[in-house]
């Protein structure tokens, strides 16, 4: 086990509470698409799901990193905020009431105009159709539409417009209540692969928590953006490494 990971284990054991943020380093390599074209976005998301279903080294590596997170915190009072959309965190036995995924994922579809809060399991699309091109062709023909307003469905994860947030709100409220109770406790804050894509979700709030809790210790792991703000630097550690490689290192 490398020195950094051993130190992390010791910090977790010494902490009363553990807050973990998982960022987009835990995603697959990006599948390029035209983000202005809804058909292209839908195709990318379908390809992404097919990639998740593959028996690949990349999938095994991501799952192994999640298993490491689970083993690190399983005897702790913890909460995890996860920004990924593949949903692997739900497959490894971590308590669901200690996870919040505010960005959504690809498990459900929603109306693209968010005319209602109804969500539809996305697996029915893949049960009916086998290939990406067949699914995309049917999508273009209007096969997958909202039964309420007739507009096309899209996957239920955060995009710039009309994201239906209903699925994660209960856990988000539970997270906020949990967070309030950590204020005067020894809190270990661990950021894994959180960049600046959506800093308002994890990066900035975690820094704020660390600033106000003088008993906290902050660890940021990122291959490119591990820098720590000066206000909390004395109670923090910056690790310039890919977070999955960091967790999987011996």
Q: What is the per-residue pLDDT across 182-229, written as a single tens digit (0 to 9) for each?
A: 999 999 999 999 999 899 999 999 999 999 999 999 999 999 999 999
Give the CA-trace dihedral at 193, 195, 197, 198, to 10 degrees. Answer: 80
Query: Confidence class of residue 81 from pLDDT cuts 50, 70 and 90?
Result: very high
Residue 20: CA count within 13 A, CB half-sphere: 27
Count the neighbouring beta carbons within 10 Å of the beta carbon of residue 81: 24
Pairing, β 104-111 against β 153-157: antiparallel
Rounded Cα distance, 47 and 106, in Å: 11
Q: Which domain holds residue 139?
A: 3-248
Q: What is the pTM of this model?
A: 0.93
Residue 1 has pLDDT above 60, yes or no: no
What integer is the mean pLDDT of 92-116?
A: 95
Do 81 and 175 touch, CB atoms closer than 8 A?
yes
Check which CATH number belongs to the domain holding 163 and give it: 3.40.50.1220
Sheet containing strand 17-22, edge to edge, reads: 99-100, 78-82, 17-22, 187-192, 217-221, 236-239
Token pair recorded at residue 169: 């709100």
Which tops the pLDDT comparison, 176 or 140?
A: 176
Name residues whose C-beta falls within 8 Å of residue 152's C-beta, 6 or more positions apart in sequence: 38, 112, 139, 142, 144, 145, 146
Residue 30 has pLDDT above 80, yes or no: no
pLDDT value for 208:
97
Do 99 and 105 touch, CB atoms closer than 8 A?
no
Name residues whose C-beta falls within 8 Å of residue 122's C-beta, 6 or more positions apart in sequence: 49, 106, 107, 108, 109, 155
Query: Confidence class of residue 35 from pLDDT cuts 50, 70 and 90?
Result: low
Q: Burial code of 210-233, b = ≥16 C-beta within 10 A, e = fewer?
A: beebeebbbbbbbbebbebeeebe
| Domains of the chain: total | 1
Query: Confidence class of residue 34 from pLDDT cuts 50, 70 and 90?
Result: low
Q: In sequence order, which ranges of the chain are alpha helices (DSSP H)? A: 3-14, 38-53, 57-73, 123-128, 132-140, 169-180, 203-212, 243-248
pLDDT value for 112:
93
> In terms of C-beta density within 10 A (0-12 exposed, 13-18 middle, 19 or more buried), how is residue 50 classed?
middle
Which tops the pLDDT comparison, 143 or 243?
A: 243
Rounded Cα distance, 227 and 237, in Å: 9
């Amino acid at each position: 086990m490398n020195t950094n990971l051993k130190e992390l284990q010791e910090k977790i054991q010494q902490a009363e509470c553990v807050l973990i943020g998982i960022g987009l380093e835990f995603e697959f390599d990006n599948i390029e698409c035209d983000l202005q074209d809804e058909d292209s976005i839908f195709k990318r998301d379908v390809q992404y799901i097919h990639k998740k279903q593959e028996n690949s080294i990349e999938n095994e590596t991501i799952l192994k990193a999640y298993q490491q997170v689970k083993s690190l915190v399983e005897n702790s009072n913890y909460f995890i905020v996860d920004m990924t959309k593949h949903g692997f965190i739900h497959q490894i036995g971590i308590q669901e009431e200690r996870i919040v995924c505010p960005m959504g994922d690809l498990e459900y579809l929603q109306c693209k105009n968010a005319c209602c809060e109804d969500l539809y399991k996305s697996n029915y699309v893949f049960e009916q159709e086998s290939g990406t091109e067949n699914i995309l062709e049917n999508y273009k023909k209007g096969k997958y539409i909202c039964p309420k307003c007739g507009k096309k469905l899209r996957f239920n994860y955060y995009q710039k417009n009309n994201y239906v947030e209903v699925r994660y709100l209960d856990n988000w409220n539970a997270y906020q209540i949990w967070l309030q109770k950590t204020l005067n406790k020894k809190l270990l804050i661990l950021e894994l692969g959180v960049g600046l894509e959506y800093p308002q979700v994890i990066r900035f709030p975690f820094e704020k928590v660390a600033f106000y809790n003088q008993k906290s210790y902050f660890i940021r792991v990122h291959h490119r953006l591990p820098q720590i703000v000066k206000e909390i630097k004395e109670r923090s550690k910056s690790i310039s490494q890919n977070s999955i490689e960091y967790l999987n290192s011996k």
